[in-house]
Amino acid sequence: MDTTDIVDCHAHIFPPLAQACGLPDTETHLLFQQRAMHTHGNQPVRRRSDHALITEKHLWDNNDPSEAGRTDVNFRVGRMGRFEWTDDGEDYYVQFLPPSLQDMHCPAEALITQMDYAGIQTAVLQNDHIYGDLAEYFSAAIARYPDRFIGLANVDEAFAYRDEQIERLHHSVSVLGMQGLYYTLSGFFRNGYSEFFNAPSYYPFWDTVAALNIPVFWVFLGDSPAGGFKEEMALFRRWLERYPQVSSILVHGAPTALFADDNDRVVLPDYMREILTQFPVYSEVLYPIAWGGRTEYPYARAQQHIRQLYDQLGPDPLIWGSDMPNVERYCTYKQTLSYMDYCDFLSPTDRRKVLGGNLRTLFARD
């Protein structure tokens, strides 16, 4: 496959994370980062003195998902990929990023060098508050490196209905050149999950998204005050019925492990199949970042799950991604692509679709 065709649907660049990074100040950035480390489940909490795994939660009151539930534990951005805090005189950390990120910084030049080495032409820059509010940072990178990046806007999700958030979206798309929207349910801790994205108060915001004709990259949690994944998809289905013209991407993809039986046979439930076949909804193929800490390259189980998705849905809703640079805590960037070589059930035409064609078609249409 010509490497000029390959598009990574999920990558990140960011300034040093101890900075405000486009947010109003460093304290606001720490708020988002602390909440993210509280809900993060892929990497364990470790005690710094002996690196033992810890199950106790320190960062947030589990009974209060609002900002008021945040605990005072001197949460901070460390070095070498770690977020750190102190509770009762003991230091703890999560190895969220790979140890190679010494200064918690991934500039555009670093990602492009990795892309060139792995054989990837273009990357979609996802815009999570963990890294900051980075539309301006993305815009500057895109100006320096045309055709290498596609940038996503973000907003303060819980307050997206406010005029300043609608204006922020307009500015990100019309002035800064962002081509999509990153929208995560995790952001609703800001309103204590008192209402969700499909409430009528959010309609003016979504009307703006529809008018701008941009796709939405959705992050669903699978365990939130809205309920489990099925309940979150019920909210999403109601939104889709109101905005069927807006293309959507499920960040991290359909949770196939949730749908697998004891024999690892993946059968999509009706609600998931309908969302992925009756609406313009795409699913990221992003297994190494989710499973890399528990399974070995070349991820044979992931290949089986991809095949079962492919058999049930065909190639058109599937888009490959890496979650670079985070994924390097498990494997190299090149390996996030090369494990797809073992998916020999994909025809050359379908492989081109999954590894970039579907995404290029999506952005060209939108």
Domain ranges of the chain: 3-15+105-365, 26-95
- pTM for the model stands at 0.97
pLDDT of 366: 60
How does pLDDT run along the chain (366 residues), one tens digit per residue?
A: 555 689 999 999 999 999 999 999 999 999 999 999 999 989 999 999 999 999 999 999 999 999 999 999 999 999 999 999 999 999 999 999 999 999 999 999 999 999 999 999 999 999 999 999 999 999 999 999 999 999 999 999 999 999 999 999 999 999 999 999 999 999 999 999 999 999 999 999 999 999 999 999 999 999 989 899 999 999 999 999 999 999 999 999 999 999 999 999 999 999 999 999 999 999 999 999 999 999 999 999 999 999 999 999 999 999 999 999 999 999 999 999 999 999 999 999 999 999 999 999 999 876
Residue 232 is predicted with a pLDDT of: 97
Report pLDDT for 2.
Answer: 57
* CATH architecture of the region 3-15+105-365: Alpha-Beta Barrel (3.20)
pLDDT at 56: 93
Q: Report the pLDDT value the prediction gives residue 1, as an integer from 0 to 100.
A: 53
For the chain, what is the HEC assignment? CCHHHCEEEEECCECCCCCCCCCCCHHHHHHHHHHHHHHCCCCCEEECCCCCEECCCCCECCCCCCHHHECCCCCEECCCCEEEEEECCEEEEEECCCCCCCCCCECHHHHHHHHHHHCCCEEEECCCCCCCCCHHHHHHHHHHCCCCEEEEECCCHHHCCCHHHHHHHHHHHHHCCCCEEEEEHHHHHHHCCCCCCCCHHHHHHHHHHHHHCCCEEEECCCEECCEEHHHHHHHHHHHHHHCCCCCEEECCCCCHHHHECCCCCECCCHHHHHHHHHCCEEEEECHHHHHCCCCCCCCHHHHHHHHHHHHHHCCCCEEECCCECHHHHCCCHHHHHHHHHHCCCCCHHHHHHHHHHHHHHHHHHC
